[in-house]
Every structure is written in C-alpha cells, then in structure tokens.
Structure 1
Amino acid sequence: MRMVVHLSDLHFGRVDDALLAPLRECVERIDPSLVVVSGDLTQRARSGQFKAAREYLDTLPRPQLVVPGNHDIPLHNVFKRFVNPLKGFRRHITAELDPFFADDEIAVAGVNTARSLTIKDGRINQDQVALLRERFEALDAHITKIVVTHHPFDLPQDKDNDDLVWRAKMAMREFAKCGADLLLSGHMHLHHVGSTSDRYELGGYAALTIQAGTATSTRGRGENNSFNAICVHGDEIRLDRYQWDGSAFSLHSSRRYEREAQGWREVAAQGAQGSTAPTETVTLTG
C-alpha cells in the first residue's frame, strides 16, 4: 500500500499563515509514502518567497516530488522571465524540473508545464512526453503510473478550456500508449475529479484526473483550502479530500475505485460523516 499526499498552489507570498501548522500536522498524521506538490509554490517567484516555501517543505515528510507552476516564473522582471525563468525554483526548491519516483507499487513522473511566453497558461512538449513514456514503459504492468503537472488535462464542465495544458491531445495519445493511470494537477484552486474519456477519444483508454485545491493560499476562488491524499493498494485506489474547517484540516470526502476487467470503477463516494452519495462510474482501460 502507498499513500500519496497531493498538495498544490501554496503561493508563499500570499498564504494564510494560520493554515501552515495545521496542514503540516495533518500531513504528518497521514504518514505519506510520498508528498507531491503540483506547482505554484510562490506568488511572484521572488527569492524570499522561494526561501519561505523551501523552509516549509523542509518541515513536511519525505520523499517529495515537486514541479513548478506559472507563478514560479517571474512576471514583472522581463529579463529574468525570459533569460532564466526558473532560476529561483531551481536554486531553492529543486534543480530537477521533470522529477521521477518509483518503487514496487507506484511510479510518479513530474512534468514541468510552466513557460515564459504563456504568462499563466502551460505547455507540454514532445521531448517531455517521450521521457515520461520511456520511464513508464520500462515498468512492470502492475505498477500504478501517476503523472504530475501544474496545468490540468481536464476541467469542470463550467470552466474555460483555455486553462487546459497546451498540446494536451498529443500528450494524451502518448499517455494511452504507456498506460498512465492518474493525472494530478492544480492551477485552478479547485478540487475536481474526472475521467479523460469524457474529453478525449483514444480507443477506450482513459485516465483518472485529480485536481487539488489550494492548500494555503488566500485565493480560494469560492472553496475552502484543501488537499488530496491518494491511497494506492494493488487494484484499489482511495481518494481522500481534506478541507480546512476553520480550525483544522479534516476529512471532507472519500471516494474509492477498484480495477476491474474494463478498468477502474468508482464503487463508493462517502462524505466525512459516512453518508453515501450517488456514485459515478469512472472507467480506465488500456
């Protein structure tokens, strides 16, 4: 069994300081096998903000896998933005922009989608996808394959498709070939779970898309601060959403998926109080 804590959009420089200690305490109680951070560690990519983010990451469990977001590229300093856009991220957070973690149950590949030219939007290129496919295809079939980006491959139905990562269709074709199971992202400051089969037609292949809300930013966009914990146990996945309730991060909802002949099927969707909500089938094949 593996437990992956999925944090996103910390935005140091615009954090609610009251959330930092409770978030750390909650993550420590979960005791994750891996902590994933899907970008936007800072608000304006300033040195002091990166230092604050680094100091906070150092208080969280390890190992960690971290990718940058668009806010981790300088916005107003044009020279830094185009000459060395991720200098601060590399210096203070990690020099590895496409990190990789693997053991005998899960494989997690981070992909940098932040770009200088796009301001807030993200891109993925063929070289990045080729590296990811090479990594995944070398693994045993039973290993659950997880992709981490800042920008999403799927969105809630009421959101603008411009927020999707650019060249998403190209990437999804390659993900289908190497059997990626889960796509983790952030960027929207909203919690969202869906199936790529609703958006992409790839011969029956689908991946489960999981977006994390903002863990610590004051820019909640109508949602309380939250993060995800994903438990992978063989042919089962449990997705727990933890949400700030004003005094602590507590379990808000839990959804469970099982791998069947036709793929992954959601078998339960329960609130924190144990009430069962209607379930929707999410199938992953290929």
Structure 2
Amino acid sequence: MRTLVHLSDLHFGRVDPELLEPLRVLVHQVAPDVVVVSGDLTQRAKSEEFEEARAFLDSLPGPQIVVPGNHDISLYNVLRRFLAPLDRYRRYITDDLSPVFIDNEIAVLGVNTARSLTFKDGRVNEEQVEQIRKHLAGLPKALTRIIVTHHPFDLPQGFDDDDLVDRAPMAMQVFAESGVDVLMAGHLHASHSGNTSDRYAMSEYAALVIQAGTATSTRGRGETNSFNVVRIDADKVEVDRYGWDVIGKAYSLVSTEKFLRCGNIWAAHNDGLMAAGI
C-alpha cells in the first residue's frame, strides 16, 4: 500500500497562518510515501509569496510532486505574464513542470495546466498527453497510475463546465488507452471524489477523480480548509478528507470514501462512505 498526502491551493499571500504548523505536524504523522501539491502555491505569483511557499514545502517530507496553478502566473505584470509566465515558479519551486515519481506500486505524473493566455482556465496539449503516454507505456500493469493537475477533468455538482481543463476529452482518450487510474486536481477550493463515467461515456473505462479543497487559504468559498490522505492498494483506494476544526484548532478526519477497481472501472464501494465525528 502507498499513502499520498494531497494538498492544493495553498495561496501563500492569503494564508491563514495558524493552520501551517498543525498541517505540517499532521503530514509528518501520516508519513506519506509521496506529497502531492496540485497548484496555486501563491496568490499573486510574487517573489515573497514563492519564498514562503518554498519554505513550507521544505518543512514537509518528500518525495514531492508539485505542479503550478493559474495563480502562480503573474496577473498584473503583463510583460512577465506573457514573456516569462512561470519564471518565479521555476526559480523558487521547481524547474520541472512534468515531475514524475515511479516505484513498484505507483506511478505519479504531474502535468502543468497553467496558461498565460487566460486568467483562470487551464489546458493540456497534445505534446503533454503524448509525454504521458510514453511515460506509462511499458510499465507493469499492476502499478496504479496517477495524474496530477491543477485544473480538473471532472467536477462536483454545482460547478460550471468552464472550470474543466481545456481539451479534456482528447486527454481522457489517451488516459483510457494508457490505463490511468486516478486524476488528482485542485482549483475549485472544493473537496470531491467520484469517477468519470457520467461525464465521459467510454466503454469499459472510468477513472477515479480526487479533488482537494484549499489547505491553507483564507479563500474557502464556503468550505472549511481541507486536504486529502489517499491510501492506494492495487484494486482499492481510500480517500480520507481532513478538515480544519476552528474550535479545536486542528485538522481532524471528516470523512472516508472507498473505491474499488473492476477491470478498468473505478467505482465507489457501497459500504465505503463513512463519516467521522459527524
């Protein structure tokens, strides 16, 4: 079994500072095999915000798979936005925009969906998708294959389709051919787990979608600060959602969802939805 901590939308520049140390301590207690951060490390892509984000990442265990979000591209500096959109991200966070972690149980691939030509939308292109295909080709079938992006390939109820990553159907076709199991994303500041069967009618294929809320930002959009702990076996995934307890001043387990794989289809386990402390 492998354990992943899934953080997203940290938004340094708009963080609630009292959350940082409890989050850091709990992540170390979980002792993940990989820490995943699915974008928006900063609020306005300023150097000081990236410095704070870098210091926080350095306080967490590794290895880490980190991808940028739309907020990690300068918004108001037009020259920087179009001529060097991820220069500061590369300088302070990582120069690798397609990070990869592979061991004998999981393959985790990060994909940059942030683009300078749009303020908040994201996109994947054919070159990126082909790179994913090449990375996954020839890997043992037993490996659980995980794609990490900032912008999501599927949405919880109540969200507009404009929030989907552009060219998603093209990418989903390759994901199906490559046996991608799990799609992890952020962007919405909303927690959600489900599969892709309703949105993408693909024969004998449905990937598991895991959406993380904002772990530390003051921009909660109606949901408490949260993050996911994802436990992965060959044919089973458990998603623990931890939410911030404003009274206890700590993150606590809010819910656990279980998903099982049958062939290339992931689906919720009927007895797998449990609530803790509710």
What is the rounded CA distance, in whole Å, between the counterparts of 2:264 and 2:103 in structure 1? 25
Where in structure 2 are there 5+ consecutive unaligned residues?
Answer: none
How many residue pairs end up in the alignment? 274
- For the Cα contact (< 8 Å) 1:197–1:204, is it kept in 2? no
1:138 Cα offset (Å): 2.1
SS state at 1:117 partner: coil
What is the rounded CA distance, in whole Å, between the counterparts of 1:221 and 1:263 in structure 2? 32
What is the rounded CA distance, in whole Å, between the counterparts of 2:54 and 2:33 in structure 1? 20
1:169 Cα offset (Å): 0.5
Deviations 1:46-70 (A, max 9, x none): 0000000000000001110100000
RMSD (Å) for aligned C-alpha atoms: 1.1
What is the rounded CA distance, in whole Å, between the counterparts of 2:125 and 2:9 in structure 1? 23
Residue in 1 that maps onto 2:105: 105
1:262 Cα offset (Å): 6.8
Deviations 1:231-261 (A, max 9, x none): 0122221110011011101111011122335
Residue in 2 that maps onto 1:278: none
Residue in 1 that maps onto 2:275: 271
Matches within 5 A, 1:78-93: 78-93=78-93
SS state at 2:146 partner: strand
Residue in 2 that maps onto 1:129: 129
Which amino acid in the other structure matches residue 63 of structure 2? P
Where in structure 1 are there 5+ consecutive unaligned residues?
Answer: 276-286
- For the Cα contact (< 8 Å) 2:195–2:267, is it kept in 1? no
TM (norm. structure 1) is 0.94
SS state at 2:243 partner: strand
TM (norm. structure 2) is 0.96
Residue in 1 that maps onto 2:34: 34
- For the Cα contact (< 8 Å) 1:20–1:216, is it kept in 2? yes
Q: Structure 1 47/262 Cα, relative in aligned 2: closer, same or farther at 3 Å? A: closer
Residue in 1 that maps onto 2:160: 160
- For the Cα contact (< 8 Å) 1:241–1:254, is it kept in 2? yes
Which amino acid in the other structure matches residue 237 of structure 2? I
What is the rounded CA distance, in whole Å, between the counterparts of 1:12 and 1:25 in structure 2? 18
SS state at 2:82 partner: helix
SS state at 2:104 partner: coil
Identity of aligned residues (%): 58
1:205 Cα offset (Å): 1.1
Q: Structure 1 177/230 Cα, relative in aligned 2: closer, same or farther at 3 Å? A: same
- For the Cα contact (< 8 Å) 1:68–1:114, is it kept in 2? yes
Matches within 5 A, 1:2-13: 2-13=2-13
What is the rounded CA distance, in whole Å, between the counterparts of 2:159 and 2:268 in structure 1? 24
- For the Cα contact (< 8 Å) 2:207–2:265, is it kept in 1? no
Residue in 2 that maps onto 1:186: 186
Runs of 4+ in 1 over 6 A off after TM superposition: none
Matches within 5 A, 1:14-29: 14-29=14-29
